[in-house]
Structure 1
Amino acid sequence: MTLLNRFVFPLFLLVFAGAATAQPLPEPQGPVILEVTGQIAASHDGAARFDLEMIEGLEQHVVDVETPWHEGPQQFTGPRIVDLMAAVGAQGAELRFVAINDYAANMPWEDIETYDVILATRQNGDTMSVRDKGPLFVIYPFNDVPDLRNEVFYGRSVWQVKEIKVLP
């Protein structure tokens, strides 16, 4: 057995086997505001359910952005979607975001790996009500990446998110 096969290949297996398995998620203690379904490892009865505290327990990121839906600059806070997908052990090619009113939009997996797309729980420091496009809003870094300012990415910026389906 070569040095490469003896040491590197087992290390490769350990790294990727660990990435494919998510830690068990606790049961939500508050109202469920998000269900993640589809190609996921961490689930109870086929879905990973999150309350606000669980989502805000993930590493939080701040995006300062101007959107077509708000007056002036806004600050959104929430976890990166790629981190949320890692927490549930998601493996897919596409994500389908479903809103409370059943509006849905698909996002290629590459978007969450290429851009710091967040699932915002806060706008300007405050939790967002349904009336204010909450409680969850997909936010792209439009100010950091001006090429995202177009109808394709605006259409993927779903607000009032209630479910994310991980598609193969």
Structure 2
Amino acid sequence: MRGFFFSILVLMSSCFSSAVHGRDMVIPPSPKAPPILEVRGSASRVDAEGAAQFDMEMLKALPAARLETTTAVTDGVRRFKGFLMRDLLAHVGAQGTSVTARALNDYAIEIAIEEFDRFDVLVAYEMDGEPLLPSDKGPLWIVYPRDQHAELQDIRFDYRWVWQLRWLEIR
């Protein structure tokens, strides 16, 4: 019986939060460690300030994906581990048509969300079995499956490989 009343209390609290904020909102959990990625914009799973923040543990809880490919800035085939961008966007309830990816150095580029559905674009946190470090493109790097699709070997796609990824803005 006590569990029933607790469930009712949680449901009422959720309804009150949605009414206060004027929209259906699912408040995401807060990171336990310093956040390394912040997602803002048109998404249903953001906090009251309009952001979803993630620490590495939270990102590693997303379904893991692997990719072997060459890059324009490294030698040979590299093995990447991370999560698919489309899985992250689904996790935050993205409702836009584009994402602006921004790095620690403020480099930014707009990417159509359609690309993440069309290609297995990875947000890597490991390369060749080692964590990506801020001193070498980490802790997060957007990686395209360039060896699997000839069209991705065009230089226009190389600009979308944002390393030291820190922010995403969904529009």
Bin the TM-score by the shorter chain. 0.7 to 0.9
Identity among equivalent positions (%) equals 35
**Helix, strand or coil at the partner of 2:159:** helix
CA shift at 1:111, angstroms? Answer: 0.4
CA shift at 1:24, angstroms? Answer: 4.1
Matched residue, 2:134: 130
Question: 8 Å contact 1:23–1:87 — kept in the other structure?
Answer: no
Counterpart AA for 2:46: S
Within 2, Cα distance between the matches of 1:78 and 1:98?
18
Counterpart AA for 1:112: F
Matched residue, 1:69: 73
Within 1, Cα distance between the matches of 2:157 and 2:56?
25
Within 2, Cα distance between the matches of 1:23 and 1:77?
28
Deviations 1:57-110 (A, max 9, x none): 000100101001111110111110001001001111101000000000111111
Matched residue, 1:164: 168
Within 2, Cα distance between the matches of 1:127 and 1:23?
31
Ranges in structure 2 where 5+ consecutive residues have no aligned partner: 1-23
Alignment of 1:1-168 (within 5 A): 24-44=27-47, 45-167=49-171
Within 1, Cα distance between the matches of 2:114 and 2:121?
11
Within 2, Cα distance between the matches of 1:110 and 1:27?
28
**Helix, strand or coil at the partner of 1:152:** helix
Matched residue, 1:10: none
CA shift at 1:25, angstroms? Answer: 2.3
Question: 8 Å contact 1:95–1:108 — kept in the other structure?
Answer: yes
Count the aligned residue pairs: 147
Ranges in structure 1 where 5+ consecutive residues have no aligned partner: 1-20
Question: If the length of structure 1 is used for normalisation, what is the TM-score?
Answer: 0.84
Superposed CA RMSD: 1.3
